[in-house]
Structure 1
Amino acid sequence: MKQIGSFKEWLKIIEQNQELLLFVKTDNCSVCDGLYPQVEDLHAMYPIPFYKVNVAEVPEIAGQLSLFTAPVVLLFTNGKEYARFARFVQMEELKRRLGELVERGIKIERID
């Protein structure tokens, strides 16, 4: 997963990627530390960019995305939030939604 270091960087990323996953964590969060490897493992299975951000380092992103807890996994398509998973993420549901996002992207590519 690529690390996001600033809100300005996030704005470029969301503009440049049709679909993406954003993993949001914070400092001293054992749930974040436990979930991260599970989400990171999914990257090999889904052909979309995966990014991570620590809201303790980039607090503007928490305000702009209305994030009130951590961890949060966000899926985006066409610059808009597609799905949100907060705190205790059900991995099967995340996989299902990632599959939908990939299928949607493939359909869009075929139309273009």
Structure 2
Amino acid sequence: MNVQEITSIKEIDTFIQNNRMSMLYVSQENCNVCHAIYPKLKELVSQYPEIKLAHIDARKVKEVAGKFLIFTVPTIMLFQGQQEYLREDRFVQFAQLELGLQQLYNAMYPTD
């Protein structure tokens, strides 16, 4: 799974604009929960080849908290076009996240 490391707000905007479906994973280096769920998130997203994943360290890109109203990490945001479609934070419910991913993905990329 190829994950883009983002280091500025401008890169975030470009990433969202350039991908039909994009997911942002906002974490911090000293966050144990962040480190624990990251591999699981990458594995989940790898099942959806059209979803592009980017990682942002909230301590290095401080503006991300204000731009997206992030109050805790980890925060996962899924965008369809420019629109935020789904958000999970702190205690990520993977079953709920996967269901949301499946619904949007199947609507955008029907298998029929």
TM-score, scaled relative to structure 1: 0.89
Q: Which runs of 4+ in 1 moved over 6 A?
A: none
Shift of 1:56: 0.4
- Partners in 2 of 1:2 and 1:101 — Cα distance? 22
2:72 matched to 1:66? no
Task: Indicate the SS of the match to 1:51.
Answer: strand
Task: Indicate the SS of the match to 1:46.
Answer: coil
- Partners in 1 of 2:45 and 2:100 — Cα distance? 13
TM-score, scaled relative to structure 2: 0.89
- Partners in 2 of 1:42 and 1:2 — Cα distance? 16
Task: Indicate the SS of the match to 2:65.
Answer: helix
Cα deviation per residue 1:57-91 (whole Å; 9 max; x = unaligned)?
Answer: 10111110000100011111121110110101111
Aligned to 1:8: 10
Alignment coverage as a number of residue pairs:
107
Aligned to 1:32: 34
Shift of 1:43: 2.5
2:100 matched to 1:91? no
Shift of 1:101: 2.1
Aligned to 1:103: 106
Aligned to 2:55: 52
Q: Point out the structure with the larger helix share.
A: 1
The runs of 5 or more residues in structure 1 that have no matched partner are: 108-112
The range that moved more, 55-64 or 42-51, is 42-51
